[in-house]
Amino acid sequence: MNRRLELVCPAGSMPALRTAVDHGADAVYLGFRNATNARNFAGLNFDNNDMRRGIEYAHQHGARVFLALNTYARVGQWADWTRAADTAADLGADAIILADPGLMRYCRERHPTLRLHLSVQASATNPEAIGFYARQFGVQRVVLPRVLSLSQVRYVISGAPVEVEVFGFGSLCVMVEGRCALSSYVTGESPNTCGVCSPAKAVRWEEAGSVRRSRLNGVLIDVYGPGESAGYPTLCKGRFVVQGGADQSPAYALEEPTSLNVLGILPELLKSGVAAIKVEGRQRSPAYVGQVTRVLRTALDACMHDPDGYVVQPEWIVELDRLAEGRQHTLGAIERAWQ
């Protein structure tokens, strides 16, 4: 039980990277300013110079840097993805997070000493699939999709020949990551190729008096009343009138906004053999990154010091709930009793 659980935190910008490292992240993950990463929002991510400075800062403070190259290369643009991999290797990134098998093959042949992590976007949810990536491409870690129960996570760890990383806090996705077509259906752009779910250019806000509406490529996603918190418009978390439903008032048809929070099961995750806890949120502010990193660092240290005596402190929950979607948290699929 002296094994250290690695805390992997988001870095959507240089201030966020510094904040994560300063507040105790063991590793940060980041991306370039293009469609090669799955958080391709304007104003986020790194150019080559920022990437170099970010890697230097992290390494000076004992943290590792993982490059998210986690979208699938588009037809005719293969060079954009291979260039990103080459640049990350040249700048000293500690690992590349990949989903595209072709890119895995390229990285293994071109950069054989560079660690490869299997992205959540690859949707590998069983030891056999994970073993395939390990044998064929030398993958050393897998990030599990947020659709597995705790017993399923344990089963994967028992049979997978690589390290296992799981999400510990942040927004949830209604789909198995890597298999969602909802944004593509409405906007014409797939998050797995263009790098963003609900691209900002398709988002429109309308205000009429005290009422606010959000639209995605013209589709009405939600209507907010006075003082009601308005979330970023994604199709899966919109409120709709469902045809044929008993209640004809708008309601969350697919998923209610909430955030994953695993504070309560950290000892179980540690004992199961999980290698790393990941925080979602490269699109979030440095303040968010700092607060979440600080709370999870404190909780992880307490858990690793005394797993049997570990107790979740109420102030940890209060602070993270302030940052959660819908200001509420869940264990999601992790706590499925029937599993």
pLDDT tens, 31-56? 999 999 988 888 899 999 999 999 99
What pLDDT is stored for residue 229 in this prediction? 76
What pLDDT is stored for residue 66 in this prediction? 98
Q: Note whether 24 and 64 are within 8 A (CB).
A: no
Choose between 249 and 319: higher pLDDT.
319
Rounded average pLDDT over 138-155: 94
What pLDDT is stored for residue 2 in this prediction? 54
Rounded average pLDDT over 253-272: 90
pLDDT at 177 over 90: no
What pLDDT is stored for residue 198 in this prediction? 84
Percent share of the chain, pLDDT over 70 = 95
What pLDDT is stored for residue 176 in this prediction? 65
Confidence of residue 249 (pLDDT cuts 50, 70, 90): confident
Secondary structure of the chain in the HEC alphabet? Answer: CCCCCEEEEECCCHHHHHHHHHCCCCEEEECECCCCCCCCCCCCCECHHHHHHHHHHHHHCCCEEEEEECCCCCCCCHHHHHHHHHHHHHHCCCEEEECCHHHHHHHHHHCCCCEEEECHHHCCCCHHHHHHHHHHHCCCEEECCCCCCHHHHHHHHHHCCCEEEEEEEEECCCCCCCCCCHHHHHHCCCHHHHCCCCCHHHEEEEEECCEEEEEECCEEEEEECCCCCCCCCCHHHCEECCCCCCCCCCEECCCCCCEEECHHHHHHHHHHCCCEEEECCCCCCHHHHHHHHHHHHHHHHHHHHCHHHCCCCHHHHHHHHHHCHHHCEECHHHHCCCC
Choose between 330 and 264: higher pLDDT.
264
Domain locations in the chain?
Answer: 6-172+258-335, 199-252
Supply 35's token pair.
């469609």
What pLDDT is stored for residue 305 in this prediction? 94
Choose between 295 and 2: higher pLDDT.
295
What pLDDT is stored for residue 175 in this prediction? 63
Rounded average pLDDT over 219-243: 85
Confidence of residue 188 (pLDDT cuts 50, 70, 90): confident
What pLDDT is stored for residue 13 in this prediction? 97
Nearest by Cα to 28 from 233, 234, 324, 50: 50
Average pLDDT, the chain: 91
Q: Note whether 79 and 106 are within 8 A (CB).
A: no
Nearest by Cα to 110 from 72, 77, 84, 133: 84
pLDDT at 1 over 80: no
Rounded average pLDDT over 327-337: 82
Euclidean distance between CA atoms 256 and 9, whole angstroms: 24
- Architecture of the domain made up of 6-172+258-335: Alpha-Beta Barrel (3.20)
Confidence of residue 247 (pLDDT cuts 50, 70, 90): low
**pLDDT tens digit string along 80-128?**
999 999 999 999 999 999 999 999 999 999 999 999 999 999 999 999 9
**pLDDT tens digit string along 273-286?**
999 999 999 999 99
Torsion angle (degrees, nearest 10) of CA 282, 122, 199, 78: 100
What pLDDT is stored for residue 195 in this prediction? 72
pLDDT at 290 over 90: yes
* Cα-Cα end-to-end distance for the chain: 26
